[in-house]
Chain A
Amino acid sequence: MADFGGTDLEAFRAEARGWIEANFPAALKGKPNPMMGEERPKPSADQEAWRKAMGDKGWGVPTWPAAYGGGGLSGGEARVIQQELNRAGAYNPIGGMGVMMFGPTLLEYGTEDQKREHIPPIVKGEIQWCQGFSEPGAGSDLASLQTKAEDKGDHFEINGQKIWTSGAQYADWCFCLVRTDTAKKHEGISFVLFTMHQPGVEVRPIKLIAGSSPFCETFFTNARAEKKDLVGPLNGGWTIAKRLLQHERSGLTGAGGGLGGGGKSLEQLAKDYVGVDDKGRIADSDLRTRLVNNAINWRAFQQTAIRAMMESKGNAGPSSATSIMKNAGTQLIQERHEMTLEIMGHQGLGWEGEDFSKDELEAVRGWLFGKAFTIFGGSQEVQSNIVSKRILGLPDLTQNH
């Protein structure tokens, strides 16, 4: 129960507050996290200093083991750090797919040497990773992937194409699923790591409906992965991939961000744009009902997140509630995006220009990008299939493939 306060945490809180005060550059206060942006401009000296400080301290990934540079802290202490960062108007500069997905997976499945090589640069925010999973023909049916890795003695030679590779144009390394046995489906997949900075790797950014190009087509022509960078056994990559996807999904359930409205609640936004009646209620009663509905479900969602956390601590395995989190959360966020636009009315239809406020333009782009939340990390349909077959025990018609 230490997580919910107690004197030991209060001492830690004082330490965290002091350290953040001493290290967080005042000029960055309240500024957005550059890791959250879709483009990656060159960081400022302040941003670099802050990344380095947090990286050296290991507090960007507070619960990761200290042996690899992580904070080595408890979940309770990690939450204190987050609270203190928020309080100081500071962001966590250590992020990306290395932190969210790959690091936790490698900590679980990697060899000692692999962890020593790859974890510290993630902790320090020095190396950015991208996820080479999806292919043009292998999306929901990821295990049908065709990108081939051939054994060349001391290394694998990789040929094929990935698609929708988020951040590939900025990434230093790729964790990639490759086919090492063409006779089998799931049992013919391996999990390899390789540098993106090599001649056999070509990336072509793809433009999104929201206007930006945060992901790429990624082509491999005789690209090279060292043998030491095979994670897990040869042809044993599928188990690791599934674990990684679990990390991806749990990271996505809260995939809020970019709700627009400049941090205002939807309720306040509605009052500002739509007006109130003589009793102070949102003037559009139709909209009001839908807003309240979303708010109620949102609260229930948060209550479920807390319950799942408590249960997973009490029991051995994860709570069955976690299986619903991605669909429940992303659906509520998409609803909020839609209602934000509706609230803004004509002002919520702008693409660019000074006739629209920054918040209004962000709401439109956020709404468009938000459509991806129910597609990536296991689409809504694939999630529902997982709930149906793994949790509810219903038959699976796609099993034979």
Chain B
Amino acid sequence: MAVLSEEQSMLRDAAKSWVQEKSPVTAFRKMRDSGAELGYDVTAWNEMAEMGWAGVIIPEEYGGSNFGYLSLGLILEELGRTLTASPLLSSGLAAASALILGGSDAQKSEWLPRIAEGTAVGALAIDEGPHHNPEKVAAEFKGGKITGKKTFVLEGMAADVLVVSAKGADGVGLYLVKANDPGVSRHKLSLADSRGAANIEFKDAAAEPLTGGAALVEKVLDRARAGVAAEMLGSAVQAFETTLDYLKVRVQFGQVIGSFQALQHRAAKMFTDLELSRSAVEAALAAIDADSPDVPELVSLAKAKMGDTFHLVSNEMVQMHGGIGMTDAHDAGFYLKRARAAEAAFGNQAFHRDRYARIQGY
């Protein structure tokens, strides 16, 4: 684990105890079973916001604590452990990043304080097809309005403000669109991981540009990707630990199944991959905090490595639990479904391997 400052340690401990007490996997199960409209528990989200988590990367002048991305990553990791669903990533990380990096003073003043206190939710609307492809943008910005379609917008139903990529006079850039604009129609998606997402159509929706063009799109996406990777790390670690516990208690052939080397070595392999993934995720978050030029490659490295690891661990979780892992009553299926959705979010492993290769000149 990264060497943490005192504040970071406190933040992580607070997150850990809140998550374990208030938001165990049973809370996620309850949310799913209730068919929660937004794909998260609003009361839990309000509690998170009260603890200041939605403002961790937001400057103090806009109501945040300015603790940085590594700090926010620690919280996302803890939330990931129990699959806690919330708009923290979409709003407190992705949309907040877009505003911090590309917003005018007026735009920041309008949205950041509300995002920080959790009273407004922001979301990122980038993709237009079944695959993450931020360079392929058909949505158009003309005369202060956006027309186009966006798919798979995480927390799209909950959002008050949408950060939308579109082609303007100077190429692709990001724009702010109010979700209640009459030109916005949202359609809720019902996903395997039970999280909130929407397909959104824009018809002459009033939009305000952010500054930064295509470079801003990539910068914001890299922050979102690193955030998903941090959440995935927590989920994968928990999936692993739950499996490890099971290996120590399930008895077959008169011994715990963890005594079979066929399983021991696979557990050791998962542990290895998790350690490698943690380094990659923390390095990416630290690079963002340092505003290092290496951010793109470190983020792609982290998302690719973390994706492979979560993929492996989520499969092994089911396999090593045997029949019980196939049941809906067990948590394994939740981690499996979440893994594939998180892998696909903001670019899957193949996307990031390719991006890493291009950056490195392979």
The one of B193, B319, B322, B327 that contacts A139, using a Cβ cutoff of 8 Å: B322
A-B contacts, CB under 8 A, total: 123
Q: How far is the CA of A183 from the CA of B252 in the complex (A)?
A: 18
Contact with A along B227-256 (1 / 0, CB 8 A): 000000000000000000000000111110
Q: How far is the CB of B341 from chain A (nearest CB, A)?
A: 5
Given A350-B190, A351-B190, A371-B336, A286-B350 contact (CB < 8 Å): yes
Q: Is the CB of B327 within 8 A of A206?
A: yes
Contact residues in B for A273 (Cβ distance below 8 Å): 130-131
B261 and chain A: residue at smallest CB distance:
A397
Q: How far is the CA of A109 from the CA of B187 in the complex (A)?
A: 59
B78 within 8 A of A: no
B199 within 8 A of A: yes
B194 within 8 A of A: yes
Given A372-B326, A381-B260, A342-B189 contact (CB < 8 Å): no
Contact residues in B for A42 (Cβ distance below 8 Å): none
Q: How far is the CA of A350 from the CA of B192 in the complex (A)?
A: 5
Q: How far is the CA of A380 from the CA of B322 in the complex (A)?
A: 10
B120 within 8 A of A: no
How big is the B interface, by class?
Answer: 35 or more
The one of B127, B319, B336, B350 that contacts A346, using a Cβ cutoff of 8 Å: B127
Q: Is the CB of B323 within 8 A of A134?
A: yes
Q: Is the CB of B187 within 8 A of A206?
A: no
Contact residues in A for B130 (Cβ distance below 8 Å): 273, 344-348
A15 within 8 A of B: no
B152 within 8 A of A: yes
The one of A208, A351, A385, A400 that contacts B327, using a Cβ cutoff of 8 Å: A208
Contact residues in A for B348 (Cβ distance below 8 Å): 342, 345
Contact residues in A for B254 (Cβ distance below 8 Å): 141, 144, 398, 400-401
A379 within 8 A of B: yes
Contact residues in A for B296 (Cβ distance below 8 Å): none
A209 within 8 A of B: yes
Q: Is the CB of B341 within 8 A of A349?
A: yes
Q: Is the CB of B131 within 8 A of A349?
A: no
**8 residue pairs from A and B, CB less than 8 Å apart:** A206-B329, A273-B131, A286-B349, A286-B350, A349-B191, A374-B319, A381-B262, A400-B254
B7 within 8 A of A: no
Q: Is the CB of A346 within 8 A of B333?
A: no
Q: Is the CB of A139 within 8 A of B323?
A: yes
Q: How far is the CB of B239 from chain A (nearest CB, A)?
A: 14
Q: How far is the CB of A376 from chain B (nearest CB, A)?
A: 8
A residues whose Cβ falls under 8 Å from a Cβ of B = 134, 137, 139-141, 144, 163-164, 206-209, 211, 273-274, 284-287, 341-342, 344-353, 355, 364, 368, 371-372, 374-376, 379-381, 384-385, 398, 400-401
Q: How far is the CB of B188 from chain A (nearest CB, A)?
A: 8
Contact residues in A for B189 (Cβ distance below 8 Å): 350, 353, 355
Contact residues in B for A139 (Cβ distance below 8 Å): 252, 322-323
Contact residues in A for B132 (Cβ distance below 8 Å): 345
Q: Is the CB of A287 within 8 A of B322?
A: no
B194 and chain A: residue at smallest CB distance:
A351
Given A349-B340, A349-B344, A381-B263 contact (CB < 8 Å): yes
A212 and chain B: residue at smallest CB distance:
B328
Contact residues in B for A274 (Cβ distance below 8 Å): 131
Q: Is the CB of B151 within 8 A of A368?
A: no
The one of B151, B199, B328 that contacts A209, using a Cβ cutoff of 8 Å: B328
Contact residues in A for B178 (Cβ distance below 8 Å): none
The 7 closest A-B pairs by CB, nearest first: A209-B333, A345-B130, A401-B254, A286-B350, A141-B252, A207-B328, A398-B253
Q: Is the CB of A401 within 8 A of B253?
A: yes
Q: How far is the CB of A391 from chain B (nearest CB, A)?
A: 16
Given A350-B192, A351-B194, A208-B328 contact (CB < 8 Å): yes
Q: How far is the CA of A101 from the CA of B249 in the complex (A)?
A: 32
Q: How far is the CB of A252 from chain B (nearest CB, A)?
A: 15
Q: How far is the CA of A65 from the CA of B135 in the complex (A)?
A: 64
Q: Is the CB of A368 within 8 A of B131?
A: no
